[in-house]
Amino acid sequence: MTELIRHPKVMQKAQLEVRKALNGKIRIEEGDMHKLPYINQVIKETLRLHPPGPLLVPRLCCETIELAGYTIPVESRVVINVWAMMRDPKYWEDPEIFQPERFEEKAIDLSVANFEFTPFGGGRRICPGMSFALASMELWLAQLLFYFDWELPGGRSPHELDVEEAFGLTLTRKNDLCLVATYHA
C-alpha cells in the first residue's frame, strides 16, 4: 500500500482494473485473479523493491571456488543479498523506480531460477509458502482496491510519506502506515 499511495496513478490504474473486471460482483474470489494482470505486476514490483527477506538463508560453500575474482574457501558461509540483486542496474532499468509495467514485458516465473528476481529464494530452498503468500497478497490487495479509496490522513501529500525501512531477518516499514479508507459504492 505504501508504493500505491506514493504513486496515485498506479493505484488508480489498479483500482480501475479490479473494478472493471469485477463489475456487478459484490465479492472477489480466487477464481477472479486471472482477470487482474496489473495487480500481479504491482505485487511483483513491490516484492522486487521490498523483498520480505532481504537476505537469503546462508549457504555453506561445499568446495573452494573463484567468483568474480574472489576466492571463496570451502565451508565458508555465503549470504545472498536479494535486496541488492533486485536493484541491480545490470538486470533492471531504473532499478530504484517503482514501475509495475516492467513486468508486463518481463515474463518471470517465480517457481524457476530467475536469479534477478528471487523474493522467495530459489532452487531447493525456495520458500514453501510462496504460492500461498502470492495468492493471499493478490486477493487482499484486490479487495482493498475494489472496496475502498485510499488517502493519507489530513490531506498530506504522498511525497511527505516516510518510507524508511527496518532491516532485519525480514524487511518491514520502520513506521506504521496510517491511511484513510473511504468505502467505494
Q: Which three cell numbers stand for residue 5?
A: 499511495
**61 annotated binding-site participant:** no
Sequence-separated contacts (24+) of 69-73 with Cβ below 8 Å: none
* 3-class DSSP state of 65: strand
SS3 for 24-87 is CCCCCCHHHHHHCHHHHHHHHHHHHHCCCCCECCCEECCCCEEECCEEECCCCEECCEHHHHCC
| Binding site as annotated, residues for heme | 127
| Binding site as annotated, residues | 127
